[in-house]
A = this chain, B = another copy of it.
Amino acid sequence: MSKTKIVFIGAGSAVWSSTIIVDFILTPSLYGSEIVFVDIDEERLNLIYDFSRRYAREYKADYVFKKSLDRREVLEGADFVINAALAKGHSHYEVMRRVSEAHGYYRGINSVEWNMVSDYHTIWGYYQFKLALDIARDLEEKAPDAWLLQVANPVFELTTLLSRETKVKVVGLCHGHLGYLDLARTLNLDPSEVEVEMLGFNHVIWLTKFKYRGENAYPLIDEWIEKKSEDFWRSWRENQWNPFDIQMSPAAIDMYKAYGLFPIGDTVRGGTWKYHWNLGTKQYWYGPSGGPDSEIGWEVYLMYLNMRLNEIKRALADTSRPLSDTVEPVRSGEAIVPLIDSIVNDRRASYQVNVLNGDSIPGIPSDVAVEMPVIVDSKGVHRMSFGELPRRVYNLVLRPRLLRAEWAIEAFLEGGRDFLFEWLIRDPRTKSTEQVNNVIDDILKIPGNEEMAAHFK
């Protein structure tokens, strides 16, 4: 086995990257590889570096770990680059959200139909788009044959942007499609006998095939809705503790009825304002937390991240107990490590990924990143072909979502205030032209947004 070099950018998001490190450690076929962590936050960088070295030692996993504050120093020779970086960190976007809300834009100007996810930064994601594109351009220069695994959001926009603007081999990855397992579990199906196909855009995927033991299982969903959903929701409303527990929420069932296919994973977090007007509306559709993207659910999530980070720090400081007491040695279910394994060791397998459509899904332009299953082996990513989705899914979901993606990409590439204006003038929260102009002014005035303000001048 040749030595594989993996550069992990934004690895300082230790809560998440620690689970990926565990995946590596549980994958002996990649032993011998070099994993280089990159982050601009030195403390966080050291944290994941120390964590990985110790976890690997405990498991006798043979990896060479390195670290750097400057990606350009370490990209050369990379076979894989994982981009998990969130430019400016969560807190900056929370400031923009607060400023937006002062102007009547509940949950921020970034939240729109089919993208209500609180850290899927598109129109206000200037720094995030720029970072991702800079990384891809660095790869073109320093490691043109490397695979870029884009896991930082917004996966849909960034996979599309980077694939269009650079020659890099970009694959966007997201674990959201695993929501189908919640569906199977709720229907009491043995997951190993479930066959699924999910198509669409990242965070906007639809269950186009659902079989159980070879038979169409959609009737089982219909039966569950008819006979069991009310009881399920009664208990769920009393007991929901995880705001992300919404795969079988009334929102999901309502979307299924409206659009004809079952929405999977983060798709349920989207939809029109019907599900999102305010906290009360969100609670009706997503349970007492209001779902992950309410002011309650999102705060819970951000607090969870901090809490978990502290747990990892404490575990690292405490050498009396193995790290695996804190971060369990189980596979995360993320596709990153298995996919690298498939390419490095020619283990042909199917993955749910985001890549440019080509002619895989009819009715979607070829230069738009779709989320779909592909086959991966040492030769790379092999697209398949799929049937048409229902017209409602195209017209009411995918095409409107695609428009917003194109606007965000164009806003990033071209600059100019017009794009922010056009974004907001069509928003149901907008009541006047002044409101649009005022919120734009105030967001661009936020400290830290100087470069973005110049871009959108």
Given A395-B410, A399-B403, A407-B395, A426 contacting B277 (CB threshold 8 A): no
A438 to chain B, nearest CB (A): 14
Residues of B within 8 A of A399 (CB): 399, 403, 406
Give the residues in chain B near A273, CB-CB below 8 Å. Answer: 425-426, 430
| CB-based contact A272/B396 at 8 Å | no
- Whole-angstrom distance from the CB of A400 to the nearest CB of chain B? 6
CB-CB nearest 8 A-B residue pairs: A272-B425, A395-B406, A428-B430, A274-B425, A396-B422, A258-B418, A274-B433, A428-B428
Number of identical monomers bound together in the oligomeric complex: 2
A51 to chain B: closest CB distance in Å?
Answer: 44
- In the assembled complex, which residues on chain B have CB atoms less than 8 Å from the CB atom of A391? 410
Nearest chain B CB to A161's CB is how many angstroms away?
Answer: 14
Per-residue CB proximity of A416-457 to B under 8 Å, as 1/0?
001001100111101111000000000000000000000000
* A140 part of interface (Cβ distance < 8 Å): no
**Chain A residues in the interface with B (C-beta under 8 A):** 113, 258, 272-274, 277, 281, 391-392, 395-396, 399-400, 403, 406-407, 410, 418, 421-422, 425-428, 430-433
Q: Could you jot down 19 A-B contacts, CB within 8 Å?
A: A113-B426, A258-B422, A272-B425, A272-B426, A273-B425, A273-B430, A274-B425, A274-B433, A277-B433, A391-B410, A392-B410, A392-B418, A395-B403, A395-B407, A399-B399, A400-B403, A400-B426, A426-B426, A427-B428
Known: A113-B426, A277-B433, A428-B431. 20 other contacts (CB 8 A): A258-B422, A272-B422, A272-B426, A273-B425, A274-B421, A274-B425, A274-B433, A277-B432, A392-B410, A392-B418, A395-B407, A395-B410, A396-B422, A399-B399, A399-B403, A400-B403, A403-B403, A425-B428, A426-B428, A427-B428
Cα of A432 to Cα of B272 in the assembled complex, Å: 12
Residues of B within 8 Å of A406, CB to CB, are 395, 399
Please, which residues of chain B bring their CB within 8 A of the CB of A274?
A: 421, 425, 433
**Residue numbers in B under 8 Å from A395 (CB-CB):** 403, 406-407, 410
A433's contact among B281, B421, B431, by CB below 8 Å, is which? Answer: B281
- Report A405 CB to chain B, min CB distance, Å: 10
In the bound complex, CA of A391 to CA of B367 (Å): 14
Q: What residues on B are CB-neighbors of A427 within 8 Å?
A: 428
Write the nearest CB–CB distance from A210 to chain B, whole angstroms.
Answer: 22
Of all chain B residues, the one with the shortest Cβ separation from A413 is B391
Instruction: Give the Cβ gap from A117 to chain B, nearest Cβ, in Å.
Output: 18
Cα(A105)–Cα(B281), bound, Å: 22
User: Which one of A400, A403, A426 has the greatest number of beta carbons of chain B within 10 Å?
Assistant: A426
Name the CB-closest residue of B to A418: B258
- Distance in angstroms between the alpha carbons of A182 and B396 in the assembled complex: 38
A422 to chain B, nearest CB (A): 5
Chain B residues near A422: list those with CB within 8 A: 258, 272, 396
CA distance A62 to B277 in the complex (A): 65
Query: Chain B contacts of A392 at CB under 8 A?
Result: 410, 418
Bound state CA distance, A430 and B132, in angstroms? 36
* Residues of B with C-beta under 8 A to A426: 113, 272-273, 400, 426, 428
Q: Which residues of B contact A428 (CB under 8 A)?
A: 425-428, 430-431
State how many angstroms separate the Cβ of A212 from the closest Cβ of chain B.
28
Residues in chain B near residue A272, CB distance under 8 A: 422, 425-426
Interface centre among A395, A399, A421 (most CB of B within 10 A): A395
Complex Cα spacing A406 to B363, Å: 13
A431 to B274, CA, bound (A): 10
Name the residue on B nearest A400 (C-beta). Answer: B403
Q: How far is the CB of A147 from chain B (nearest CB, A)?
A: 29
